[in-house]
Every structure is written in C-alpha cells, then in structure tokens.
Amino acid sequence: MATDFKFGIDTLTIADVDALTEGRLQGSIDKQAMSNIHASCRYVDEIVDDRSVVYGINTGFGPLCDTLISPSETTQLQHNLLMSHSVGVGELLSSKLSKTMLILKLHALCLGYSGIRPQTVERILWMINNDICPCVPEKGSVGASGDLAPLAHLFLPLIGLGEVFYKGDKIPTDKLLKNLNVEALRLHPKEGLALINGTQFIAAHAVVGLNRLKNILDSADIIGAMSLDGLMGSIRPLDARLHAIRPFKGNQKVAQRLRNILQGSDINNAHLDCSRVQDPYSIRCMPQVHGASRTAYMHLLELTEIEINSVTDNPIILGSHDTISGGNFHGQPLAVPLDYASVAAAELGNISDRRSYLIIEGRYGLPKLLIEDAGLNSGFMIPQYSSAALVSENKGLCFPASADSIPTSLGQEDHVSMGSIGGRKFNQIISNVEFILAIELLYAAQSIDFRRPLRSSKILEACHHEIRKIVPFATEDRVYANDINALHELISSKKLVMTSQQAAETAGITLD
C-alpha cells in the first residue's frame, strides 16, 4: 500500500479522499506539518500559562463565552465539551461517511492553526489507517458553529467513550481500546473545541455525494443515449455547431459525450432522412438539461475542494498571543451550492422519467407498454409509477435547507446554515435518481431489442450486453422489482459507466 498523501502539506482532492477512505491510499503526517502542529499547541500553552482570555481555551462556550475557567479546569472543560455536545439522534452514518469525516478533520487540523497536540492527530491517523470508524448519528447539526453534535460523536472514541465500527462489528470504544491495549486520551486546552468546530459533516456528505453525482451524470448520458436510439430520435440537436453559439461548458460536454456514445449506430443511420421534424424535449434537450446539472456538479466540486483544504474551526491560532475568534465554521459556503446541486440531481431524474414515459406510449414504432401481447400482460406500465413517485418525492426534498435558519445557543448563534440537512437531502435525492435511471434503463434496453436486426453503437451494444446478462428481454409479465434492483446495482456500482468506458477504449473513442 502506497503512503502517498501527506496530511497538512498536500492538497486534498475528492479522488484522494475516496482512495484514503477505501484504503487504496494511506496517509502520513509530514515533518513540516508536525512542526506547525507543535508550534500551534505551544501557543495555546502560552495562553493558558499567561491567563490571557481566549474563547474556548479558558472560557465557556457559546453564550458562556464570558465565563472564565481556571487553569486547573481547562482540560476538564474539553472533556465535558465532547460529552455535552454528543446529542445526535437518528440512524447511524455509514462507516464510509464516518471515515470520510475523520480524513477531512485530520487534514484541517494538520494545517497547524487549531492548537491541537501531536498525540491527538496521531491517534486520529491511527484510527483512519486501522479502519476504526466512530458511530455517528445522522441528525443533530444545524451547520453552524461547526457540525457540533456529529463531530462530538466522531471524537468520543478519543476519550474512550462512544462506539465504533471495527472489522464489520459495532463495538464499545472502551472494549476495543482494551483489546488493542491502547489508552484513551485526556484532552488538553483547546483540543475539544478544535475537534468539534468545523464543517466536516457537511463536507463529507458533499464529497460522497459528488462521487455519486458524477456517476449518475455519466449514467444518465448513457441511458439517455440508449433511449434516443430506442425511440429513433435525431442526433442533430447534438451538433457541436449548435452548442458553440450557446457555449455553456456543461452543455457542450454532454453534447460531445452523447455524440461519442452514439457514434456508429446503425439504428440512427437507418432514419437519418425520415420525415420527423423534431423530438420531444426530453430527447432533444438532453445537452441543455443534463448539461446544466453537470455545470452544477463542476461548481460544487470546485467549492468542496476549497472547503476540504481549509481551516474551519474556531478560534484560529495564528501565533504567540495572536488568535482570531471568527466564523469559518459557518456552513453557508457549502450549504447553498449543496441545495443547488440537489436540484441539479433531481432534474436528471425528472427528465429521465419523461423519457421512460415516451418509450411506453406506443409511438415511433414501439409497441404500447413495450410488450407485444398487451392486455393479458400489463407490460412495462407500472415501473413508471415508481419512477413518478420518486420524482415527486425529490421535488419535496429540493426545498433549500439553506433558506431556513433557527437561532440556537441562546441567540449567540443567531443565523445557521442547515447545510447538514442539505448534505443529507442531496444524497437521498441521488439515491432516488439511481432508481429512476434504473427504470429508464429497463425500458431503453427493451426498446433497443425491438429495433433488431439493426444494431446500436458499439458503446451502447456493450452496455446492452451487460444488461441482458442480468435482466432478460420481457415477452410476458414478471416481477419487475427484481429487474429494477438488478439494474440499480449495475448503475450504483458504476459498472454501467465502466462498461461504456471499456467499450469506448476498444473502439478508439474518447468519452470525456
């Protein structure tokens, strides 16, 4: 295993986080980063020794910021902070999300502005490298003053409390530490606050969601192209000249991808001179609709990579007796684009459902409900109901979380981002879209079979071949839920996208 990533020194990318989470990449703390951590920790000790008043080091928290804490009680203050703020509720995050939060927090701490001790960052690194993932409830953060509740749960294991996922089991932390002959830490001044202030819950949902959004963007292009061929749609709206005179990057990218995916299709070549003037929008406007969603993805990616390389706790330790108590913990910079990206993801499902509806209408030479013996068989009527239900659910989920704010902390925290809710909704919408696309893929594959003996493009035929390995052509009714679940796995596992990429390489076609 390569030890390639240096926390606090290297620039962290979404790909790095993914590799660190999956164990394909292992991180280390560079000597320069450790030197910066030592210096920041020393500055905190100077503040405590000199009895300078600095928020969170020798004062209470939130509305208790004017309450002074004696030097002898500063360590107990940090211990109490983790316990009192561990108020999360609901289902536990996946171990992947929990580990992602650890990675993001470690990188922020290693930038050297948080006053945390070397022993503490080394323990977090040990947890990451040994795949020890804290149990973190999904609800309880309002996305300002840091993701306080989830981060408190995330770091309870440092002081021997809480539970963790380890080797597939959920186990009390104290039991695991005893089994591994490891002592719990006793936090020093500023450490508890450094651990729970920050946006790592929001950012982790953005990181995981971005990977999933990229997959459904690529999948939607493949599936939409297969639907276009199944419906014998025109490729004229994909012409590069059209998109050059409205040059949004996302639109141009999608138009290029669709042209390449459909390259060499005999189905398309067979109707180039037909009398149909234009296709419905869900076919004709894929570059514009998929493209707008892809532009939103690029924007969120840019902002998320800024965030995961930033310091988001409070106060910031800049030097000897040089601290700033500011608001870098506020989640608004990600909360707003997460809401925007949620709409973008939902729109992929919205237009996909419309294509599914077109395919079962019985137009353009396809049988009604995509089955030859309709009447005795309901055919593919009902899967579209599920698609419609998911689309409707997504519309409700698209209400922007960042448009709401409820004051907390006795009014000290009088505007909050609710970005934590936005991050969760973002991923929930993507989960729904994966199923919506699976239903369209079920329909698109069936429609391609009705065009035989004509063949689609090499890329789409390779994808169709993968589909038919797990879902056969339907001649009569069956339990379609099994088909939908199988195709959902094909999409969510990224196998559909990988199949298209492999076929493109074989054919000498560049998709991206």
Residues assigned a catalytic role? 55, 85, 197, 281, 284, 329, 413
CA distance linking residue 179 with residue 399, whole number of Å: 47
3-state secondary structure of 368: helix
- Cis peptide bond prior to 150, omega within 30° of 0: no
* Gap between the Cα atoms of 434 and 215, Å rounded: 9
Which residue's entry shows tokens 């999948």?
219
Q: By three-state DSSP, how is residue 222 classified? A: helix
Question: In degrees, to the nearest 5, what angle opens at C-alpha 511 toward C-alphas 509 and 512?
Answer: 135
Q: Helix, strand or coil for residue 377?
A: strand
Confirm if 37 and 121 have CB atoms less than 8 A apart. Answer: yes
Whole-angstrom distance, CA of residue 213 vs CA of residue 93 = 19
Q: Which of 175, 156, 179 is nearest to 98 (CA)?
A: 156
Give the separation between CA 114 and CA 131, rounded to whole angstroms: 24
User: Which tokens sit at 89?
Assistant: 């509720």
**62 contacts 409 by C-beta, under 8 angstroms:** yes
Q: Sign (positive/negative) of CA torsion 34, 35, 38, 43? A: negative
Q: From CA 72, how far away is CA 369, in angstroms rounded? A: 75
Cβ(123)–Cβ(215) below 8 Å? no
Sequential DSSP letters for 363-402 = -TTPPGGG-TTBTTB-TTTTHHHHHHHHHHHHHHHTS-GG
DSSP 485-500: HHHHHHHHTTHHHHHH
- Residue 403 DSSP label: G
> Which pair of structure tokens corresponds to residue 443?
């329909």
DSSP 51-85: T---TTTSB-SGGGTT-B--GGGHHHHHHHHHHHT
Q: Say which residue the tokens 């189905």 belong to.
A: 267
Sign of CA dihedral 13, 300, 429, 355: negative
